[in-house]
Structure 1
Amino acid sequence: MLYQTDFNREGDVNFSPLRKNWLDTIGGETIEVLKADESIFMRQSMSTPCLNVIVDAVGAYITDKNGKKYLDFHGNSIHQVGYKNSAVIAAVKKQFDELPFIPRRYTANIAIDAAQALNDKTTSKDYKVLFTPSGSAAVGIALKMTRKITGRHKVISMWESFHGAGLDAISVGGESVFRKDMGALMPGGIRAIPYNAYRNLIHSSCPETVAAFCLDYIEYIIKNEGAIGAILLEPIRATDIHIPPRSYFTRLREICDENDILLIFDEIPTAFGRSGMFYVHQNFGVEPDILVLGKGIGGGIVPQAAVLVKSKYDCAQDISLGHYTHEKPAAGCAAICATIKYIDEHKLLENCRNQAAFALQYSENLYNKYQCIGDFRIKGLLMSFELVTDRVSKGKNDKLAEAILYYCLEHGLSFKLSAGNCITWHPPLIVTTEQLTFAFQLLEEAIKNNC
């Protein structure tokens, strides 16, 4: 069944009148492909039915079956260096020709080079590395390392957080759409109030006050629960983009050190430059004990993830942590090396910061003009625009958000909706001022036509 009503979601609505209208406009042949897709793939929330059928993806653009191009500010958070990046493709092709696969119990220079490249981008350059085939699997390794290092199984994570779809990952993740009907999960997961939830609750204009309250609550959990092994969180939440102040992380690091608790940062969708720094936590002057990476590290070509663990915790030689078939993935490692080299040589971190300054100025102008924008949050090229019924109650304006999404799609801009009412943009690091100008002008046009 292609159309039905289902409004319980974290992001975009798969079944709604606006989605039906959108599908009706994109052509019979496309609809036939979408029906074929639905007939062979397992249905799941937020993925079925698909939004469209694409035939190409280059740079910051995707092209659909009808030949229409869309500036893609979603990209599943993997296109930091752009789709079909020629340097990454060349490196992967070369690796396929030279050494396509590294069997377990063996190594190769490309694997060592990739691990070293990830370590060299850290502040301390004091991490050991494991590769995994997915971000969710990397989170699983981080949880196993926590138990091995501390001997404790309890993990504090945040309500509404997302750390992957595996059963271990959803045990420490907070999105109901992934946990619904799953029954008993891995024991030890404890939820804390995330910075963004309390900020929204009190509408405080003082980030320091909000941070202090949230950290007080984390300390309360630690003192009353006991046996906490780790605190796991996204330094910047990737979906609706919430950015705690530097003081939040300074004290959080102190809390972990004082209580012998590991600090795990999940930067799967946000690392590799999208925050304006290579790793997100480098914006806040702290380092985690365990860093989880994924998505964009494969250059938008190869599915790839990694776990970085402080060298002093390299203590698992008597157990198998992952032992994956692609434990040292030749093609993935080539993609990692090529992606880092491309970011450096093309000064993409500098471009990210420059474009972020432009976006911040443009966003302030829109915020001052339109009361339906309740807030906007920008760090590097992580951007979110929160749509509200009014700025006093800050009621979610989901209908407006969905109307703006389809208006923008109709006119050539693709992005994700988060939390129902947040327009979330993750432009690639190669984005230009002209492309951002197009996106902002279209956003304003969509607000004028629907607000």
Structure 2
Amino acid sequence: MEVKAYMRTEGDINLSSERKKWQADNLSEEAMDVLDEDSRYFVHQSMSTPCLNVIVDAEGIYLEDIDGRRYMDFHGNGVHQVGYKNRYVIDAVKNQLDEMPFLPRRFTNPVAIKLAKKLAELAPGDLNKVLFTPGGTSAIGMALKLARKATGKFKTISTWDSFHGAGLDAISVGGEGVFRNSMGPLLPGTEHMMPFNGYRCFMGDCDGCGLKCLDYLEYMLEREADVGAIIMEPIRSTDVQIPPKAYFKRLRELCDKYGVLLILDEIPTAFGRTGTMFVHEHYDIVPDIVAIGKGFGGGVFPIAGIIVREGLDVAQDISLGHYTHEKSSVGCAAALATIEYIEQNGLLEHARRMEKVFEQRLTEMKEKHASIGDVRVKGMLAAIELVRDRKTKEKAIEEAEKVMYRCMERGLSFKVSNGNVLTLVPPLVITEEQLVAALNIVDEAISFVCD
């Protein structure tokens, strides 16, 4: 099957010849037999099945494959803030399993209330009402339904290239072709605008254009009277786009001016990833709804949710979610333990310290390699954008994939986003020594492939 351009926007390309070559060179016959069996029974889909490798253990920052090789995991699907097999989280889950593993959704339980109270204390302003759900996509669905209920307006504005989940409602507001293309009619009223992109600004120079992209947004809001919500990632996790504070200050003002709710999708980035518990804290604004998930469950249990302003508690006559595991006692125990572990071990402060290590090393690498067009860092969320020419900004797509597999050979796993962006997302428990070692692997791989 031909690998089309839109398939090169997110994650692994499981149809590429480069992947097949890496597997042939690095995996044992036993590993390939297991992969063949996996391929036999699981429905094939982009970025998933067929799979890359067989993992049999995960602990701390490491994955271990069936052949005994260990990889520092700088991907983790965004769930591994506190590291794999975190004993504090696992013990909390085990205790909850012994005490009460499940209860029907019409009842509550003390651990769910304790978690909700903790989130209300952590979130700024009047973000003090919550609703839980098993997965991030359904959290986005609840946010969209609540926005319609609260405003009486059904349209949304989101950005191209964004990712908000894989359900039909989530891909409708999302903007990545690998999820949307060939799906037929999507949710009506889901308008899109250009995303913030500092390196590839659609308007020219993002630093000096006066945020013309938000001028365009206001143009849309003036003409679309039935827009109920704007949904965005405060920092896009896939290729690490980091808008300036002025961007979200103006966005908040536009939402207030036109009576539009601001929904921020922090599913892959909340809980310490950027050096603060929530990403929007960097922007000194209070959104109306925040979606959370992924690392919320400590890499042990799937749990997600929304945190909303108290004034949005207006949906008692309908079911926003009504999921079977809505107030999962085990999920809430895992989430509460995750937050406690982050706080008790100073992981927010550690992420801010490691940000400086990232910045220094990536800046050195950019000066060294002409193939690096841009580097972006916030906390322990970093990106290296590979280009064939800095002036034209032509994407080095094939080179980025080769770099990824070169790094895999040397014990470092990460994802490639937007075709040419090396996205580096280590666990918050990583040491400085481990981080430097990983970045040295990336440096060598870029030299080997691109120089």
State the TM-score bracket (shorter-chain normalisation).
over 0.9
Query: Residue 290 of structure 1 aligns with which residue?
Result: 289
What's the CA shift for 1:180? 1.5
| Equivalence for 2:17 | 17
Q: How far apart in 1 are the matches of 2:207 and 2:103?
A: 48
What is the alpha-carbon distance in structure 2 between the residues aligned to residue 209 and residue 436 of structure 1? Answer: 36
4+ long deviations beyond 6 Å: none
**1:6 is matched with which residue?**
3
Q: Distance in 1 between matches of 2:21 and 2:80?
A: 29
Task: Tell me the equivalent position of 2:384.
Answer: 385
Note if contact 2:239-2:417 (Cα within 8 Å) is conserved in structure 1: yes
The Cα shift of 1:16 comes to 2.1
Matched, 1:143 2:144: yes
CA distance in 2, matches of 1:208, 1:61: 42
Q: Provide the residue aligned with 1:196 in structure 2.
A: 197
Alignment check: 8 A CA contact 1:374 1:394 kept = yes
TM-score (norm 1): 0.97
In structure 2, the gaps of 5 or more residues are none
CA distance in 2, matches of 1:199, 1:54: 36
Deviation at 1:224, TM superposition (A): 1.4
Identity within the alignment, %: 52
How far apart are 1:9 and its partner, in Å? 3.0
Q: CA deviation at 1:356?
A: 0.6
Name the counterpart of 1:180: 181
Unaligned runs of 5+ in 1: none
In structure 1, C-alpha distance between the alignment counterparts of 2:259 and 2:223, rounded to whole Å:
15
Paired residue secondary structure (1:195): coil
Alignment of 1:5-404 (within 5 A): 5-7=2-4, 8-11=7-10, 12-24=12-24, 25-124=26-125, 126-196=127-197, 199-202=200-203, 204=205, 206-207=206-207, 209=209, 212-404=211-403
Residue by residue, what CA displacement relative to the aligned partner does 1:323-375 show, whole Å, maximum 9, x if unpaired? Answer: 11112110110011100000000000000000011110111111111110000
- Partners of 1:6 and 1:14 within 8 A in 2: no
Structural RMSD (CA): 1.2
Q: 1:197 to 1:379 in 2, by over 3 A?
A: closer
Q: Quick one: distance in 1 between partners of 2:204 and 2:371?
A: 16
How far is the alpha carbon of 1:426 from its aligned partner? Answer: 0.7
Q: Deviations over 1:155-187 (max 9, x none)?
A: 000011110111111111111111122111111
Residue 422 of structure 2 is aligned to residue 423 of structure 1? yes
> What secondary structure does 1:209 align onto?
coil
- Supply the AA of the counterpart residue of 1:347: G
Q: Is the Cα–Cα contact under 8 Å of residues 9 and 45 in structure 1 kept in the other structure?
A: no
Give the total of aligned pairs. Answer: 446
Q: Say if 2:416 and 2:422, in contact at 8 Å, map to a contact too.
A: yes
Q: Structure 2 length as normaliser, TM-score?
A: 0.97
Distance 2:347 2:326 in 1: 29
Cα separation, 2, equivalents of 1:207 and 1:239: 21
Q: Amino acid of the residue matched to residue 8 of structure 2?
A: R
* Alpha-carbon distance, 1:121 to partner: 1.1
The letter for the 1-side match of 2:171 is: I
Q: CA deviation at 1:114?
A: 1.0
Q: Is the 8 A contact 2:203 2:213 kept in 1?
A: no
- Are the counterparts in 1 of residues 198 and 241 from structure 2 also a CA contact under 8 Å? no
**In structure 2, C-alpha distance between the alignment counterparts of 1:390 and 1:270, rounded to whole Å:** 31
